[in-house]
């Protein structure tokens, strides 16, 4: 069959130019587009549908862990940002500031939120009086603005969508437990929904959130061997509570400051999904996050075949829909089946069913998987069960494949020369001893562009543990995971 013009324009292969591949994939799959405002992004319906699936899953998990949604304003009085010293230092360079409103200069400029700690904790100061008001567990879905100079679709844009959880607790232990719990929720979501394995752990002081006591992170390895910080959770200590006078009466009648946490993931996760699973044909979307999990393509040559085939396709659609499968029949007339296959493959639809006159006669449909392998004829009876099982298997296999890839690109117990060679060659995750010195961290970044992604949680640590800093040779205080990162 003759290819259409669109089919002939293949993506630049990942191995040739990963960054070009990424941008072309987003355009081809119509996930996002550049906006007339530099650095901003338009999320197109195909991309937004993935974000909606992500939101739905995460929102359910937040509610299951006792959180409620609320909404706080986009504008924050500029003075609020200055109240926490580290916070203002961290965010001031990238804020957008509104100085005029309604044609008049404002008495106090307003910052367009880069994150909402300051305005939320100003409100918490009003709402929290007693230990009975704690814990306060709130999440908001919102947009934020950080003035970025170098932007990439989904990964780094001036305005992006995210959720930010903000909680207040009576004790440090409870805040720590919450920060760790939400890191665990993110990890579960990333592994079980995105099929994206992550390494979790704590950030060093130089990579910690501005104003936090401790920052925890989920780090994933993309196919170009660069790490991506996929989600963070912060124990804010009492820093913001002191700055905003968020106090409460304890059970024994004393007055104390609350302990806060905040945690967030953003539309960056769509970029992470693309770079974890995409191939040279386009997007590969894990079934649990796909807008359409199954697309049915009818095949016919004449009108009588068309009627018969469409009826069979609709029958299959209804059966799958009733079983909870997100399914779509591509009944567009005047478009060849091959062109449809190509388009749905580029958009990452996990499973495709082809229905032709011969399939109708045999009471079957032809199954093709986005991840390859031979096509398979399935009986129409029992179709939903087969499809559900197929989606489960694909979901699992995508996670296993990405985990195998990550492990194949990880190196443990590195010494300095191995590390330099590793980072100069293909890169990946390098595990090694770290003395805890900021000088070592800075020197490594300077010479190799690699940064400490996390001081890994116990289950990711090497056995035996490294005893010396892989860079300076002094005693190691903790193992570290280095990588070049987005
Ligand atoms: Zn060192």
Alpha carbon of 413 to ligand 1 centroid (Å)? 14
How is 293-334 classified by DSSP, letter by letter?
SEEEEE--SSHHHHHHHHHHHHHHHHHHHHTT--EEE---TT
What three-state secondary structure class fits 403?
Answer: helix
Question: Which residues are bridge partners to 259 per DSSP?
Answer: 169
Q: Using one digit for the tens of pLDDT, what is the confidence trace for 460-480?
A: 999 999 999 999 999 999 999
* Residue 1: per-residue pLDDT: 44
Q: Are 166 and 246 in contact (CB under 8 A)?
A: no
pLDDT at position 242 over 70: yes
Alpha carbon of 433 to ligand 1 centroid (Å)? 8
Residue in the block written with tokens 């989600």 = 231
* Residue 210: per-residue pLDDT: 87
Percent of the chain topping pLDDT 70: 98
**Closest to 41 in 3D by CA, of 239, 227, 212, 271:** 271
Gap between the Cα atoms of 138 and 480, Å rounded: 32
Gap between the Cα atoms of 203 and 200, Å rounded: 10
Alpha carbon of 239 to ligand 1 centroid (Å)? 29
pLDDT category of residue 84 using cuts at 50, 70 and 90: confident
**Closest to 286 in 3D by CA, of 404, 397, 405, 403:** 397
Average pLDDT over residues 89-101: 92
Q: Using one digit for the tens of pLDDT, what is the confidence trace for 113-146?
A: 999 999 999 999 999 999 999 999 999 999 999 9
Gap between the Cα atoms of 360 and 346, Å rounded: 27
* Residue 187: per-residue pLDDT: 98
Q: Are 250 and 174 in contact (CB under 8 A)?
A: no
Phi, psi angles (nearest 5°) of residue 113: -50, 125
pLDDT category of residue 2 using cuts at 50, 70 and 90: very low
397 CB-side CA count, 13 A:
15
Residue in the block written with tokens 């259409």 = 4
Alpha carbon of 442 to ligand 1 centroid (Å)? 10
Alpha carbon of 176 to ligand 1 centroid (Å)? 28
Gap between the Cα atoms of 289 and 193, Å rounded: 7
Alpha carbon of 202 to ligand 1 centroid (Å)? 18
Gap between the Cα atoms of 363 and 19, Å rounded: 45
Q: Are 269 and 187 in contact (CB under 8 A)?
A: no
Indicate the average pLDDT of the chain: 96
Alpha carbon of 67 to ligand 1 centroid (Å)? 41
Alpha carbon of 455 to ligand 1 centroid (Å)? 14
* Residue 4: per-residue pLDDT: 53
Gap between the Cα atoms of 50 and 169, Å rounded: 33
* Residue 8: per-residue pLDDT: 57
Sort strands 255-257 and 247-249 into parallel, antiparallel or unpaired.
Answer: antiparallel
Q: Using one digit for the tens of pLDDT, what is the confidence trace for 186-202?
A: 999 999 999 999 999 99
* Residue 402: per-residue pLDDT: 98
pTM: 0.96
Percent of the chain topping pLDDT 90: 93
Alpha carbon of 206 to ligand 1 centroid (Å)? 15
């Amino acid at each position: 069959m003759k290819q259409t013009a669109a089919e002939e324009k293949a993506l630049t292969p990942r191995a040739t130019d990963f960054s070009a591949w990424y941008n072309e994939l987003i355009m081809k799959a119509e996930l996002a587009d550049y906006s007339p405002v530099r650095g901003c992004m338009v999320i197109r319906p195909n991309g937004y549908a993935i974000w909606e699936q992500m939101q739905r899953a995460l929102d359910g998990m937040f509610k299951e862990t006792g959180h409620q949604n609320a909404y706080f304003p986009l504008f924050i009085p500029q003075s609020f940002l200055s109240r926490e010293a580290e916070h203002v230092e961290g965010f001031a360079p990238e804020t957008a500031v509104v100085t005029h409103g309604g044609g008049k200069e404002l008495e106090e400029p307003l910052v367009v939120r880069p994150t909402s700690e300051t305005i939320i904790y100003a409100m918490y100061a009003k709402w929290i009086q007693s230990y009975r008001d704690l814990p306060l567990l709130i999440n908001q879905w919102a947009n934020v603005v950080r003035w970025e100079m170098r932007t990439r679709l989904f990964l780094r844009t001036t305005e992006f969508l995210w959720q930010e959880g903000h909680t207040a607790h009576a004790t440090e232990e409870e805040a720590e437990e919450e920060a760790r719990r939400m890191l665990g929720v993110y990890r579960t979501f990333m592994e079980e929904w995105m099929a994206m394995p992550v390494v979790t752990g704590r950030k060093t002081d130089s990579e910690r959130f501005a104003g936090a006591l401790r920052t925890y992170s989920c780090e994933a390895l993309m196919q170009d061997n660069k790490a991506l910080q996929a989600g963070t959770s912060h124990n804010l200590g009492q820093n913001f509570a002191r700055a905003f006078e968020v106090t409460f009466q304890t059970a024994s009648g004393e007055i104390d400051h609350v302990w806060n946490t905040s945690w967030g993931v953003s539309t960056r996760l769509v970029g992470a999904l693309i770079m974890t699973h995409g191939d040279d044909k386009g997007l590969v979307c894990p079934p649990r996050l796909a807008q359409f999990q199954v697309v049915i393509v009818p095949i016919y040559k004449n009108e009588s075949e068309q009627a018969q085939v469409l009826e069979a396709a609709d029958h299959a659609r209804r059966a799958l829909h009733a079983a909870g499968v997100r399914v779509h029949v591509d009944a567009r007339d005047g478009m060849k089946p091959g062109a449809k296959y190509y388009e749905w493959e580029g958009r990452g639809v996990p499973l495709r069913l082809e229905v032709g006159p011969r399939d109708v006669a045999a009471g079957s449909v032809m199954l093709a998987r986005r991840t390859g392998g031979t096509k398979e004829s399935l009986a129409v009876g029992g179709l939903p069960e087969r499809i559900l099982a197929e989606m489960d298997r694909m979901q699992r296999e995508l996670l296993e494949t990405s985990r195998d890839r990550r492990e194949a690109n990880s190196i443990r117990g590195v010494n300095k020369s191995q590390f330099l060679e590793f980072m100069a060659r293909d890169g990946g995750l390098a595990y090694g001893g770290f003395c805890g010195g900021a000088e070592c961290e800075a020197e490594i970044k300077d010479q190799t562009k690699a940064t400490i992604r996390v001081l890994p949680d116990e289950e990711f640590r090497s056995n035996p543990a490294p005893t010396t800093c892989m860079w300076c040779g002094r005693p190691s205080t903790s193992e570290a995971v280095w990588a070049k990162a987005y």
